[in-house]
Amino acid sequence: MQQESSDLRDFVASMGQDRALRVEENLGEGFVRLRVAEAERRQAKHDIRCVEDAVIELLRNARDAGARHIYVATTREGDLRTTVVLDDGCGIPQDMQDRIFEARVTSKLESVHMDRWGVHGRGMALYSVRENAVSAQVMASGEGLGTAIRVVTDANALDERADQSTWPTLGADDDGQGHCTRGPHNIVRTCCEFALEERGTCEVYLGSPAEMAATARARVVPKTSSTDLLFMDDLSSLPVLERPRAAADAAELVRVCSELGLEMSERTAHRIIAGQIRPQRSVVAQLMHRAGGEAGAKGEVDLTRDRRGLRVSRGDLEEFSRQMERDFARLGDKYYLQLSADPKVRVGRGKITVTFELEESD
């Protein structure tokens, strides 16, 4: 029986084939529309079945755009949830800001990303998000300016976890790799798991629109001087995450934030400027703080502690995981076993651990 890993190897091999066999249309500025067969080879592990799936796709999209900081603002009124993801990535050209939601449109022809959630870069993630949402649009972006995307979903059409306030519990392996051990698989946990997985690549911040606006205003950006801001008529020329900081008063802060998809009243804007709404720490920092507060100083999880020992590159670990999946196939065929996820390889002090997670039998 041919395994999923064989499909992935075939896909990776196809990256070296003639470009014309993979691209239906060159849209310019680095964007292409993939052929149907090429898009199908880039199938993700699962379709979007809940709000949390949509959030992880938006986070992966920001990461692949080179973002170092990602802000997730989410709120719910009645059955409608509004989620705004802002980042400081490479941004989207003006003429591509609606087309990125079309099927098979991607800028990742040569830079497909394989992570714990599957293959990313098939040109279907944002299309799937919009198909499952009431609306999805780029609120603000530009080349080199980062991006703000707002997605509105209906809980009657796209499920979400009932508990959206509980934070997960943080644990750590011998090699210092953090992971979430308990808690509902809600938006909070989705952001935490992504942030832990991408720790060192990008930081994730989560909160209400007002909290994300306050966090953006607290950003220290030395490149833009206060003198420059005094003579700036149009704040849209600034990077997305710098615009709330540049607002001169509450009225302008409301307008700037609204343009980014962060809706708030002028009274709330006054509270942000007065410092009554505090900036948020990254979700990893909050996880570490909560772990220390619950477990006490003795049991505090310290992800920054130096754990000297064997170090293996991520590329080698991924290749080893694929090899383990191929080897597992013989056992699976004999005993009718099926993996529910890629084998997890963890390197600790004096040991390498491989975990095979199995699908539950009927």
> Rounded to an integer, what distance in angstroms lies between the CA atom of residue 61 and that of residue 65?
6
* Structure token digits, residue 128: 């799937």
In the prediction, which pLDDT does 39 show? 66
* Phi and psi, residue 267, nearest 5°: -60, -45
244 and 257 Cβ atoms separated by less than 8 Å? yes
> SS3 of 230, please?
helix
* Structure token digits, residue 46: 């699962």
Smallest CA-to-CA distance from 248 within 234, 229, 222 is with 229
Whether domain 4-160 has CATH 3.30.750.24: no
In the prediction, which pLDDT does 308 show? 44
Torsion of CA 111, 31, 204, 304, to 10 degrees: 20
322 and 311 Cβ atoms separated by less than 8 Å? no
Instruction: Tell me where in the chain the CATH 3.30.565.10 domain(s) lie.
Output: 4-160
Q: In a structure prediction context, what are the per-residue pLDDT tens digits for the chain, which is 362 residues long?
A: 455 556 555 655 555 456 676 788 888 888 888 777 666 555 543 468 899 999 999 999 999 899 999 999 999 999 999 999 999 999 999 998 998 888 777 776 555 656 666 655 555 688 889 888 999 999 999 999 999 999 999 999 999 999 999 999 988 766 667 788 888 999 999 999 999 999 889 999 999 999 999 999 998 765 544 445 555 667 888 999 999 999 999 999 999 999 999 999 999 999 999 999 999 999 999 998 887 654 444 444 555 444 445 677 777 777 888 888 888 888 878 888 888 777 888 877 677 888 888 876 55
In the prediction, which pLDDT does 296 show? 40
| CB neighbour class for 297 (10 Å; exposed up to 12, middle 13-18, buried from 19) | exposed
In the prediction, which pLDDT does 225 show? 44
Q: What is residue 189's DSSP assignment?
A: H
Q: What is residue 249's DSSP assignment?
A: S
Smallest CA-to-CA distance from 139 within 129, 127, 149 is with 149
**Edge-to-edge strand order for the sheet containing 80-87?**
135-141, 147-154, 80-87, 69-77, 203-207
In the prediction, which pLDDT does 7 show? 57
The full DSSP string for 2-52 is: --HHHHHHHHHHHTTS-GGGTEEEEEETTEEEE-HHHHHHT-BSS---BHH
What pTM did the predictor assign? 0.70
In the prediction, which pLDDT does 208 show? 97
> Rounded to an integer, what distance in angstroms lies between the CA atom of residue 260 and that of residue 263?
8
> SS3 of 178, please?
strand
